[in-house]
Structure 1
Amino acid sequence: MTSQTVTTAVAQQKDSSPAALVRKYRTDFATVLPSHIKPETWLRIATGALRRSPQLANAAKRNPSSLLVALLEAARKGLEPGTEQFYLVPRKGKHGPEVLGITGYQGEVELMYRAGAVSSVKVEVVREHDTFAYNPGEHDRPVHEIDWRADRGDLVLTYAYAIMRDGATSNVVVLSAADIAVILKKADGAESPFSPWQWNPKAMWLKSAARQLAKWVPTSAEYVRLPDVPLESLPPAKPLELPRVDDVVDAEIVEDWPTAPDDTADGAR
């Protein structure tokens, strides 16, 4: 063993930073990444997120396994960690600082596009001074009018729907402020000052709607390229009855939901 080899080995041993841990497991991440994602690019994004946030780096160093779990989830979904596709949130856990991974609304929408079944996805928030109308059976999709010159007021609703490749409108998801309050109360890590629930609530309202839409629209980590076929040969979108949000757990855990009553706020997207 040469002196240079010894020096390199010692340096590697001393480098116990979270970024070094990410590089150590690069092969594991590359194994689960979707085929269209370049592992080296994804790794640079992950290590860059750690460098940008001392709080995140500290949580990752104190609990490296939580970092690996979060990054592994991001890798499996093919989403960029530390971005609005996939948040890396430092928080105080039962045994000290830890890292929590949360899929953002951009990530939820990206997974829908990759499945190849939708031509467009609409996810919006409604504020108290906007004009909004959506009655299932009467409206194919929400009617939302905004006066961009006026003060729009507080957030009151969020909605999401997709236009399928055959031109049909998917089920429409509509969540009220009360629905969001239920989701927020059960959201893992929402109390952390570094959680997007704290510093970007609008994005989490959008994420909540997109997450529920993903129950009715195909999603995929891999890009699916559907063959060009006549639209008339595609099966029509089936109407679905959306459940209530009373038992939804945001973060990244979702329980089975009960059947929705007739007066549910969710419609067809």
Structure 2
Amino acid sequence: MLIHPNPDPVAIKIGFLSIHWYGLMYLLAFAQFVALGRIRIRQAHIAALGWTKEDIDDMLFYGVLGVILGGRLGEVVFYQLPHFMANPLEIFAVWKGGMSFHGGLIGVMIAMYLWARKAKRNLADVYDFIAPLVPLGYAAGRIGNFINHELPGRVASADLPWAMIWPGLDHPVHPSPIYQALVDGVLLFIILWLFSRKQRPRLAVGAMFVTLYGCARFFTEYFRTPDYEVSFFGLTISAGQMLSLPMIAVGAALLVWAYSKTPENKAVEIAFKNTATAKQKSKKQKARK
């Protein structure tokens, strides 16, 4: 068995100022959003829509607000409402951890809606652009949970090579934040990044993210100690699984719609093909000269 390293949650302390690893993981998530975004705008089908570095920086500002406000409010409403009702000032203690991904996702969707209106961008195009940039940021957040020794897993067999003794527990558990970082984060990023490298119907990439994350989260929740459980059609599922089921249903429906070849999607594909053809003709003309 492994033993949780139980590192100091404070990465740097200078006088009264303390910088927590949890906060640094969020900074890492935002930095990778910018880095991957700048790679993404060089992809032909993305460049054809006129995305710029300034768009990425502007979206990041809105996205940070959406993640922090939505994530914290989601934690309060979805998971610990009685606790925070009794201790309202703790709502602001974000450095201690406690951010809901589902709440953060809702917050980001609202923030991107506001940005899309300001930038006069199609909202579906915005969701498609940012979807592949999210999973690695999520993985960084789960590493922050691990450092804070949050989200311990369910009881694991002592024979499991990576079963771990968690701080405050005397029995081995699954290191669920690591599972979620790898499956819900890294694996989802690889699949979504490969999927989004080619031109897809409008909203297909965003819908694929919602569907795959819902499925991945539903699976990894089996290894995490549930915040609470509910009975659903005679089956007992955790709070995280309950919140993931609508994601799977809505994401799958949107994916089917995206591939139904609506006139709007056809127009996007035609515009991209026309742009690509024009670029090829321009290159040929330059080569002849």
Q: Does TM, scored on the shorter chain, surpass 0.5?
A: no
Q: Larger strand proportion, structure 1 or 2?
A: 1
* Bigger proportion of residues as helix: 2
Given the two structures, how large is their TM-score scaled by the length of structure 2? 0.26
Q: What TM-score results when the alignment is normalised by the length of structure 1? A: 0.28
